Amino acid sequence: MTDPLIPAVLAFRDNGTPYSPLYNDIYHSAVGGLEQAHYVFLRGNALPDRWHGRRVFTVLETGFGMGINFLVTWAAWQADPARCERLHFVSTEKHPFTPGDLRSVYAATLSDPRIAALAQTLVDAWPMLVPGTHRLEFEGGRVVLTLVFGDVQTSLPVLRLRADAFYLDGFSPARNPEMWAPAVFRSLARMAGEGATFATYSSAGDIKRALLQNGFVYQKVDGFGWKRAMLVGHFEPRWRVRRHEPPLPFASEERHAIVIGAGLAGCAVIERLAARGWRVTSLERHGSVAQEASGNPAGVFHPMISRDDSVASRVTRAGFLYALKRWADLERSGHAPLRGGHGLLQIAADDEEARLMVEAIAALGYPPDYVTPVSLAQAERLAGMPLARAGWLFPSGGWIDPASLCAAQCAAAGHLLERRFGIHVARIERTTDQWTVFDRAGQAVARAPVVIVASAHDASRIAGLRYAPTRSIRGQLTLLPPGAVPPLSIPVIGEGYAVPLTHGTTLTGATYELDDPDTLLRPSGHRENLERVARMLPALVRATDTIPIESLAGRVAFRCVTSDRMPMIGQLADEAAAVSNAQLLRGAWPLDLPRSDGLYGAFAYGSRGLIWAGLGAELIASQIEGEPWPLERDLAEDVDVARFLLRALRQQTVNGQ
């Protein structure tokens, strides 16, 4: 189970220097935090000169602390007319500050008004204090802060990135030896790009030895303030120190991608690529966006809570938090999707589940702005009507109109998006450095160096995948007209769901019918939806008994799912090459698999497309651009399109073995 996050405690020494009571060490030199950041970390890594002329430059820091190093680096980037196009700053932190404490420490220590303004922007964007990877974007996405809340020894091994500079800024080795453990330096070597530099305030002998053992060379230079010496250096291994090279951008001079499918998955990819300056051709078989499951009148969004903090819970948490950030950015840019107010209530299936979830939320240490248990009386006040049981509240959960989200994402892409509707894609083919897309008549309809297949049930067929099994789930929704049932104050979910839409309509659903292709509404489906909702909301029993089932409106859509109910996201494997080398790949890991150049997938989102699509799109865009991944590597492997091929190789069940 993921360890609960324990926030930092704000304290000050008598001279006003902030320090950590847990480690009994200061966050920065008493001479000055801004000055230390400039001298030790920017100057120690030859910045800003080293990022000149670069498209992407990545800094990895061990120990975010107050964030002073990030703020000073951001300010230097702002002031530099020759700055890199995108600055990535990745940092780990086991004990992050609460937003209130961060605001207080900045007010007490920052005298530079320019840095103080950036600090205010950072606090306003500060993520919820839950474990995992959090991605924050500033400067229109040109400055990206990826915060990893968790222990450095478990966080660094699961990062996937190519670092250009390292800020080694943990508390002193004597007071916090875990930050300077051998495993930390092995992780740095795994992520170091060619010529990557480092700087650290410390000059302890154990650190020197660990650097040398992991392929770094160092030199001792004058320290900052009262510190006599510090270390700087670069990555120059004299022997092989890693199995896999850190990621590089896809090699193509033409920044043009084809996205097949214009539902939630495809439109999210369109927006993320266009935000990086890519020209995108969208191919959709229908006459407009969001015509399949993404065309439902509304969808609920919320994280998933499990007592063991399962993979599904961790991926869903990451997707939920990232989606909230992306939607807020769309709203600020004038492309607001239609969504309800804040808050979503989940009702326990029985009293035992209610008790277990209260215990799980407490054990996992979730803050109340993420999820909070509520008693039956509290739940009824929130919902505005009697309920069957207690449950838990997601204050930032709610409902959103998926089609409006797709439209907002396409609008945000602006002139970089070419939309083509009525295109029935049959197959794709790669020749030299281009992918060609063919329609059902065998005609070539588009060419580009990159293709992202985001067409749900058709994705495996179009991409020619044999080891990407998906199935179809028929889902029927029911719309209750205004006045038919008492109005809810917020969405309520549990065995089913009830969502109060605009103009008094209530959405309920949805049925779950495996491999059922029937597109017609069924009275039995409406009845099933109403019965499930009535078990959560007893006040609806009498109301639904009086509604003629045959008169109800609704919608049928088909969810695309995998056997493990996880999505398919990322670069596709070259299945033919893998099969031909099956014996060599029996013990392979995901990074060992041969991959199809320029071919990616985003599909099988099931009923969680709203919260998986944005994160999946960001992961794909990061893979294409060679940027730090927005998701821990082990979680990315759990959603990797190639995971079923990998299982077949390990089990020796691929054709040719």
Exposure pattern of 32-67 as b/e (b: 16+ CB <10 Å)?
bbbebbbbbbbebbebbebbeeeebbbbbbbbbbbb
Q: What one-character DSSP code corresponds to residue 339?
A: B
- pLDDT tens-digit profile of 575-617? 999 999 999 999 899 999 999 999 999 999 999 999 999 999 9
d(CA 572, CA 597): 8
580 shares a domain with 507: no
Instruction: Identify the domain boundary among 519, 546, 561.
Output: 561
In a domain, 604, yes or no: yes
As given in the structure block, the two tokens for residue 241 are 């120190």
Mean pLDDT to the nearest integer, 437-452: 98
- Same domain membership, residue 163 and residue 129: yes
Q: Has residue 96 been placed in a domain?
A: yes
pLDDT digits (tens, 9 = 90+) for 293-312: 999 999 999 999 999 999 99
pLDDT in tens, 479-520: 999 988 888 999 999 989 999 998 899 999 899 999 999 999
550 and 575 share one domain: no
- List pLDDT tens digits, range 182-208: 999 999 999 999 999 999 998 889 999
Q: Cα dihedral sign for 437, 516, 639, 593?
A: negative
22-31, 48-57, 208-217, 411-420: least confident range: 22-31
- 281 inside domain: yes
Question: Could you tell me if 480 and 609 lie in one domain?
Answer: no
Same domain, 537 and 620: no
Looking at the domain assignment, is residue 504 inside a domain? yes
Please indicate, yes or no, whether residues 478 and 577 belong to a single structural domain of this protein.
no
Which pTM does this prediction carry? Answer: 0.96
134 within a domain of the structure (yes/no) = yes
Tell me which residue of 248, 497, 301 sits closest to 383, measured CA to CA: 497
Residue 311, in any domain of the structure: no
Residues 161, 50 share a domain: yes
645: domain CATH number is 3.50.50.60
Gap between the Cα atoms of 385 and 565, Å rounded: 33
Report how far residue 362's alpha carbon sits from residue 320's, in angstroms, rounded to the nearest whole number: 20
Of the listed ranges 66-75, 544-553, 630-639, the one predicted with least confidence: 544-553
If asked whether residues 481 and 368 sit together in one domain, one would say yes
Say if 69 falls within a structural domain: yes
CA–CA distance, 48 with 45 (Å, rounded to integer): 8
Q: Please give the C-alpha separations between residue 624 and each of 91, 114, 398, 449, in angstroms, as whole numbers.
A: 22, 34, 32, 11
Kindly state whether residues 202 and 231 are assigned to the same domain. yes
d(CA 453, CA 460): 8
pLDDT at 656: 55
The answer to whether the peptide bond before residue 354 is cis (omega within 30 degrees of 0) is no
Residue 497 shares a structural domain with residue 634: no
The whole-angstrom separation of Cα 629 and Cα 339 is 28
pLDDT of the residue at 377: 96
Query: By three-state DSSP, how is residue 609 classified?
Result: helix
User: Residue 31's CB: how many other CB atoms inside 10 A?
Assistant: 13
3-state DSSP assignment of residue 212 = helix
d(C-alpha 326, C-alpha 137), whole Å: 9
* CATH number of the domain enclosing 546: 3.30.9.10
Q: Which domain holds residue 574?
A: 256-292+403-465+566-651
Domain count within the chain: 3
| The domain boundary residue, chosen from 546, 561, 576 | 561
Task: Please indicate, yes or no, whether residues 33 and 121 belong to a single structural domain of this protein.
Answer: yes
- Sheet with 279-284: list strands edge to edge: 417-421, 279-284, 256-260, 450-453, 595-603, 568-573
CA gyration radius, the chain: 26
Q: In terms of domains, do 52 and 67 share one? A: yes
Q: List 560's β-bridge partners, or say none.
A: 472
Is 320 domain-assigned?
A: no
Tokens of 549: 């089932």
